[in-house]
Amino acid sequence: MGSKALLSLRDLRLEHPRAGVLLDGVSLTLERGQILGVVGESGSGKSLTGLSVLGLHPAGRLTGTMMFDGQDLTHFTAREWQGFRGRRAAMIFQDPMSAFLPVRRIGAQIEEQIRLHLPLSRREARARVVSLLGRMGVPSPERTAERYPHELSGGLRQRAMIAMALSCDPELLIADEPTTALDVTVQAQILVLLREIGARDASVMLITHDMGVVAQSCTHVAVLYAGVVIESGPVEAILKTPLHPYTQALLRAIPPLSGPRPDRLPVIEGAPPAPNARPSGCVFAPRCASVEARCQMRPVFRSRGNHQVACVLYA
Amino acid sequence: MKGFLSRLGQMLLVLFGISVLVFAVFFATPGSDPSARIAGRGASPEVVARVRHAYGFDRALPVRYLTMMDHLFISRNLTSYVNHGQNVVEEVFDAAPVTLSLVAFAAIFWVAGALVFGLLGAAWQGSLLDRLISILALVGLSMPVFWLGEMVNLVSQSRFHETWLFRWVPPLGYVPFTTDPVSWAKGLILPAMTLSVAFIGLYSRVLRTDLLTAMQDDSLRTARAKGAGPWRLWFAHALRLSGLSALSLFGLDFAQLLGGGALLTEVVFALPGVGHLTYQGLSTLDLPLIMATVLYAAFFVVIANALIDGLYRLLDPRIGRGSHGQ
Amino acid sequence: MPERRVRAMSVSALWEFLLRRRSALCAACILCLLIMAALAAPLYAHVIGVDPMESNLAGSVMRNGTMQDVMQANDNPLHLGLSPIGPSWRWGAYALGADSQGRDVAARLLYGGRSSLLIAISAACLSLIAATSCGLIAGYCGGWVDLLISRLLDILWAVPVYLFAISLSVVTIGHDLSLGPFHLSADSLLLPIVIIALIYVPYAARPIRARTKSLSNAGFVLAARGLGASSWRIVLREILPLLAETVLVLAPLIMALCLLAESALSFLSLGVQAPAASWGSLIHDGEGLIYSRPVVAIAPGLAIIVTVLCLNALGDAAQAELRAKGQR
């Protein structure tokens, strides 16, 4: 580890009274200036990881540690969370249409967040909104600030959402599937914007199900399966030499860009376990090709080279 | 502009429909002959025939409808069948301020009560307080307003009138605002509260459900992620989002009350409003008076609906706004 | 097509629903008791030995071992006028006292329950039948039929309900009515039933129309149409059974509204005609005695509240059940 980590989650578990174990050992580290891709299938707990960092996860028993810049988030009081959310860490959501309040102007909604956290007058806050929107590449920001969410295109809404998230200079930006609801061309623009933000403004945690998105825009990646981080490390390393059988299978399932098209893509047999029926050993064992007796025990998440991986093959 | 004109057209159509309906109820219901009623029980056929001719009941229905509408809305000189020479339209306009005061007072109580109980119930969902409120709301909803009014009278005018709690209660009746504003307000407080009980019950339930739905909305999650505190979440976000449907409901009920829905309350508390006037017309079978009150009532309802519709458009930018925006 | 399973609308399903929702079970029990009490009204009158329809100003009753007059001298200092006997804790005639005609209030309360409940139940049924027909036709046919019916319902809806009911009652109630082959006597309960049913048609027809509209675009209806099923068959065999749920949930709520409307009309002497009683007309009778014998007005009011409360609770529970079903 070079610089001190901005965010480090250790063995985060979230148990919901009815739904079962939603997070089952999430460990990841995000250093300043990194863009960390959190990848997984739907239901793997990737959005939930992002929400827990802001304390927005559904009620349940949360154990493990969440260290943010030296503070333990798991012991935050409601008031501390209020000052933390939006100020030090901010979140953008998948669908910018439903994420904005439909009945108030875009500008007013961004202004609200600024005035919640910074001692600015209404006029100063408004000026900040306009400059933020401009920086996010929104054309004619003054007029856009006066618009309602439904009057903007999807791309503009997501830019406004990002502007709102960045409005109080947070150190961490959590982006939960920020491009899934957008057109393909707009997706690329938003990803470029996020990459710029990661380089310039804040560390980014990019939650996605799309390995392509990770390859395009992230510096690091953490792979989640059934509520467990099974592998993490720098993007190039993981893409070139995936260690965990699940990551390997996942990467094999992406059609190659060059060369002859395969007749059929390899698939992973079976389905991920439901949150209330997780195996006590390795969560991937039931679907793993190289399963062995030791997989009955939960493998430890340990470093190997510049990777970290949770698999008995590398113990 | 085009939208406005088409709405205006619809409004006129509804008004026309109501007037025809009311007219039909009073003059074309099979088996009910107004001339026989005016002539009185046991009147000879000749008398009935004379009455029929004198009141124009022997003319064709459409002609009578048009004459009636002319007297009501254009020349505005429709006179009572019972108190001859009494201008019915004037009477309605004299009674309107009473109803308006009563309903306005009631609306204040009912909006305030619904907000308090709805927010409390939603914020402490599932708690003992929530359950207590929902039971109380259900009881309020289930009470016949005239019975409640009698109970209020019993307690405040007779049984406990001498106690400190009800010593201020004036005798039943109405004092115009221009005569004495304090007596005006005093005399309206209890009737308005009585009238508002059922509505508080209804609206606090509606508001509680809507608030809880709104709290699950994506935009509320955004608000939390922004760092908004609980007060801001409930008031600036959830209430803003869910208040709209309650508002349109409110408009409808407010209009209905203005248009005579407060009849029972007015009768029980002896307030000479439009509802009371209708009641008077009913007991003397004064058809022009009833026609006038019912039609003006319907008129109020339609106008108020249009107003609320406009307000709704103003508050919810997603609908309407054809002129600018995309 | 999971929706098809809903068809099984049986007594056992109803029973399970009642067992699952305790408030509904409570409400249903109380309602049953009330209906039974109302049905037993003649029995009660017979046992007690009073005629609740006949004024009894000169009568007397055995109480606390002494014969007391039903109408007693006032206890005000001047001893002017007579006031009816008050309630007593003893079982027997005049347990709830007498009204201004010297009639037994308890017996009249039971008889009043008969007419009130009868009117509420029949009016709700009639209203729902009419609303279902309107909603079904409007929702299924669409186009101008829908437009026409919806506009008509809008117009009906714009008139304040009580005002509308009162107007209709004024012109029809209180004198004999001949409609072609039908002849209605002045004290027939049919008129209030029809009037009250009519005013709540729009209330129920709107949700039914909306549900029909969404059902008639559902996959299985389109499939049935694709198979060449006739419109009649689709409406009767595919849509109506699923609509039954919506209607059943509405039923207790409509019944509660009908009961309240009936009491209001009778309170204004426009519903059940004297000497017959209903809870509303009993409150009217009690109005004059409100300061001296308040129980005459209080008792029927409480009866109304309890009934309407139970009906509303039942409707609430049914609605919650339906919502839970939709989530599953």
**Which member of B219, B227, B318 has the closest CB to residue A117?**
B227
For residue C158, which residues of chain B lie inside 8 Å, CB to CB? Answer: 14, 18, 298, 301-302, 305
- Do A201 and A74 lie in a common domain? yes
- Spatial neighbors of A12 by CB under 8 A, at least 6 apart, are A23, A25, A26, A27, A49, A52, A62, A63, A64, A65, A66
Domain count, chain C: 1
Q: Does the distance separating the beta carbons of A103 and B227 come in below 8 Å?
A: no
- In this prediction, residue C186 carries a pLDDT of 65
C34 inside domain: yes
In angstroms, the separation between the Cα of residue B29 and the nearest Cα of chain C is: 8
Q: Do chains C and A touch (3 or more CB pairs under 8 A)?
A: no
Q: Does the distance separating the beta carbons of A102 and B219 come in below 8 Å?
A: yes
In angstroms, the separation between the Cα of residue A234 and the nearest Cα of chain B is: 28
- Do B108 and B241 lie in a common domain? yes
pTM (2 decimals)? Answer: 0.84
**Which member of B32, B297, B305 has the closest CB to residue C160?**
B297
- Do B55 and B114 lie in a common domain? no
Strand order in the sheet with A220-225: A89-92, A172-176, A203-208, A35-39, A220-225, A228-234, A307-309, A302-304
- Interface test with chain A among B213, B219, B234, B324, by most A beta carbons within 10 Å: B219
**Which member of A98, A103, A151 has the closest CB to residue B316?**
A103
From A110, A134, A169, give the residue that closes a domain.
A169
C6 inside domain: no
Segment B167-179 shows an average pLDDT of: 86
Segment B12-40 shows an average pLDDT of: 75
Q: Does the distance separating the beta carbons of A103 and B318 come in below 8 Å?
A: yes
CA of B155: which chain C residue's CA is closest? C291
For residue A156, which residues of chain B lie inside 8 Å, CB to CB? Answer: none
A93 inside domain: no
- Do B37 and B123 lie in a common domain? no
Residue C92 has pLDDT above 80, yes or no: no
- In this prediction, residue C197 carries a pLDDT of 93
CA of C172: which chain B residue's CA is closest? B32
The letter for the amino acid at A186 is V
- Do B119 and B232 lie in a common domain? yes
Q: Does the distance separating the beta carbons of C260 and B260 come in below 8 Å?
A: no
Residue B282 has pLDDT above 50, yes or no: yes
Q: Does the distance separating the beta carbons of B17 and C287 come in below 8 Å?
A: no
The predicted-structure confidence for A187-200, as pLDDT tens digits, reads as follows 888 898 899 888 88
Between residues B26 and B151, the one the model is more confident about: B151
- In this prediction, residue A141 carries a pLDDT of 92
**Which member of B222, B230, B326 has the closest CB to residue A100?**
B222
- Do A195 and A289 lie in a common domain? yes
**Which member of B154, B256, B290 has the closest CB to residue C167?**
B290
Q: Does the distance separating the beta carbons of B278 and C290 come in below 8 Å?
A: no
- In this prediction, residue A224 carries a pLDDT of 93
Q: Does the distance separating the beta carbons of C256 and B290 come in below 8 Å?
A: no
C275: cis peptide before it, omega within 30°? Answer: yes
B230 inside domain: yes
Residue A267 has pLDDT above 80, yes or no: no
Q: Torsion over CA of C45, C47, C50 and C53, rounded to 10 degrees? A: 10
**Which member of C167, C177, C305 has the closest CB to residue B294?**
C167
For residue A56, which residues of chain B lie inside 8 Å, CB to CB? Answer: 221, 224-225
Q: What is the overall mean pLDDT for chain A?
A: 88
- Do A204 and A307 lie in a common domain? yes
Segment B186-194 shows an average pLDDT of: 93
- Do B168 and B245 lie in a common domain? yes
From B38, B59, B80, give the residue that closes a domain.
B59
- Do A115 and A142 lie in a common domain? yes
- In this prediction, residue C75 carries a pLDDT of 67
B20 inside domain: yes
State the pLDDT confidence band at C10, using cuts at 50, 70 and 90. Answer: low
- Do B40 and B186 lie in a common domain? no
In angstroms, the separation between the Cα of residue C149 and the nearest Cα of chain B is: 13
The letter for the amino acid at A282 is C
CATH of residue A54's domain is: 3.40.50.300
C1 inside domain: no
Number of residue pairs across B and C with CB atoms under 8 Å? 132
State the pLDDT confidence band at C78, using cuts at 50, 70 and 90. Answer: low
- Do A139 and A27 lie in a common domain? no
Between residues C7 and C56, the one the model is more confident about: C56
Residue C96 has pLDDT above 90, yes or no: no
- Domain assignment of residue A27, given as a range: 5-88+170-314
In angstroms, the separation between the Cα of residue A228 and the nearest Cα of chain B is: 24
Between residues B271 and A260, the one the model is more confident about: B271
CA A197 from centroid of its chain's CA atoms: 15
For residue B317, which residues of chain A lie inside 8 Å, CB to CB? Answer: 102-103, 148, 150-151
For residue B222, which residues of chain A lie inside 8 Å, CB to CB? Answer: 91, 93, 99-101
Residue C9 has pLDDT above 60, yes or no: no
- In this prediction, residue C4 carries a pLDDT of 45
- In this prediction, residue B33 carries a pLDDT of 67
Rounded to whole angstroms, the Cα distance separating B191 from B106 reads 8
Residues from B in contact with A at Cβ < 8 Å: 217-219, 221-230, 232, 236-237, 240-241, 244, 315-318, 325-326
From B59, B77, B101, give the residue that closes a domain.
B59
State the pLDDT confidence band at C2, using cuts at 50, 70 and 90. Answer: very low
- In this prediction, residue B52 carries a pLDDT of 78
Q: Does the distance separating the beta carbons of A101 and B219 come in below 8 Å?
A: yes
B76 inside domain: no
Q: Does the distance separating the beta carbons of B227 and A113 come in below 8 Å?
A: yes
CA of A100: which chain B residue's CA is closest? B219
Domain count, chain A: 2
CATH of residue C30's domain is: 1.10.3720.10
Q: Torsion over CA of A277, A283, A286 and A290, rounded to 10 degrees? A: -170
- Do A181 and A305 lie in a common domain? yes
- Do B32 and B124 lie in a common domain? no
C236 inside domain: yes
State the pLDDT confidence band at A136, using cuts at 50, 70 and 90. Answer: confident
**Which member of B219, B226, B237 has the closest CB to residue A116?**
B226
- Do B31 and B113 lie in a common domain? no
Residue C166 has pLDDT above 60, yes or no: yes
Residue C117 has pLDDT above 90, yes or no: yes
- Do B178 and B253 lie in a common domain? yes
Q: Does the distance separating the beta carbons of B237 and A148 come in below 8 Å?
A: no
- Do B16 and B103 lie in a common domain? no
- Do A73 and A110 lie in a common domain? no
The predicted-structure confidence for A209-259, as pLDDT tens digits, reads as follows 888 889 888 999 999 999 899 999 999 999 988 999 999 988 887 777 677
State the pLDDT confidence band at B41, using cuts at 50, 70 and 90. Answer: low
For residue C286, which residues of chain B lie inside 8 Å, CB to CB? Answer: 150
The predicted-structure confidence for A60-118, as pLDDT tens digits, reads as follows 889 999 999 988 998 899 999 999 999 999 999 888 888 998 888 999 999 999 999 99
**Which member of C163, C291, C305 has the closest CB to residue B278?**
C163
From A169, A187, A209, give the residue that closes a domain.
A169
Segment B1-12 shows an average pLDDT of: 75
Rounded to whole angstroms, the Cα distance separating A296 from C242 reads 50
State the pLDDT confidence band at B324, using cuts at 50, 70 and 90. Answer: very low
From A121, A154, A169, give the residue that closes a domain.
A169
The predicted-structure confidence for B222-233, as pLDDT tens digits, reads as follows 999 998 888 888
**Which member of B219, B227, B230 has the closest CB to residue A116?**
B227
- Do A232 and A273 lie in a common domain? yes
Between residues A113 and C80, the one the model is more confident about: A113
Burial of B177 (0-12, 13-18, 19+ CB in 10 A): middle
In angstroms, the separation between the Cα of residue B229 and the nearest Cα of chain C is: 30
- Do B17 and B148 lie in a common domain? no
- Domain assignment of residue B120, given as a range: 89-325
The answer to whether A100 touches B217, Cβ cutoff 8 Å, is no
Residue B180 has pLDDT above 80, yes or no: yes
For residue B326, which residues of chain A lie inside 8 Å, CB to CB? Answer: 151
The predicted-structure confidence for A109-127, as pLDDT tens digits, reads as follows 999 999 999 999 999 999 9
The answer to whether C146 touches C206, Cβ cutoff 8 Å, is no
C101: closest CA among C84, C113, C81, C76?
Answer: C84
Residue A42 has pLDDT above 50, yes or no: yes
CA of B293: which chain C residue's CA is closest? C163
Structure tokens that stand for A282 in this block = 């390795």
- In this prediction, residue A2 carries a pLDDT of 44
For residue B21, which residues of chain C lie inside 8 Å, CB to CB? Answer: 155-156, 159
Q: Does the distance separating the beta carbons of A103 and B244 come in below 8 Å?
A: yes
**Which member of B18, B144, B298 has the closest CB to residue C304?**
B144
Residue C1 has pLDDT above 80, yes or no: no
Beta bridge partner(s), residue A24: A13
Highest mean pLDDT among A261-275, C84-98, C287-301: C287-301
B259: closest CA among B276, B274, B277, B281?
Answer: B274
B67 inside domain: no
For residue A78, which residues of chain B lie inside 8 Å, CB to CB? Answer: 230
The answer to whether C97 touches C85, Cβ cutoff 8 Å, is yes
- Do B106 and B145 lie in a common domain? yes
Number of residue pairs across A and B with CB atoms under 8 Å? 77
Span of A130-134, B135-139, C71-75, C282-286 with lowest mean pLDDT: C71-75
CATH of residue B296's domain is: 1.10.3720.10
Enumerate neighbours of C (3 or more CB pairs within 8 A): B
Residue B277 has pLDDT above 60, yes or no: yes
C160: closest CA among B306, B264, B270?
Answer: B264
Enumerate neighbours of A (3 or more CB pairs within 8 A): B
Between residues B4 and A115, the one the model is more confident about: A115
- In this prediction, residue B117 carries a pLDDT of 95
Segment B11-22 shows an average pLDDT of: 82
Q: Counting every residue, how long is chain B?
A: 326
For residue C260, which residues of chain B lie inside 8 Å, CB to CB? Answer: 142, 144
Q: Give the Å distances, CA to CA, from C188 to C39, C115, C274.
A: 19, 11, 11
- DSSP one-letter string for A39-97: E--TTSSHHHHHHHHTT-SPSSEEEEEEEETTEEGGG--HHHHHHHBTTTEEEE-S-HH
- In this prediction, residue B272 carries a pLDDT of 92
- In this prediction, residue C11 carries a pLDDT of 67
- Domain assignment of residue C120, given as a range: 11-327
The predicted-structure confidence for C21-49, as pLDDT tens digits, reads as follows 888 899 999 999 999 999 998 888 888 77
- In this prediction, residue C180 carries a pLDDT of 61
Q: What is the overall mean pLDDT for chain C?
A: 83
**Which member of B221, B225, B317 has the closest CB to residue A148?**
B317
Between residues C1 and C269, the one the model is more confident about: C269
The answer to whether A309 touches A244, Cβ cutoff 8 Å, is yes
Residue C296 has pLDDT above 90, yes or no: no
Above pLDDT 90, what percent of chain A? Answer: 43
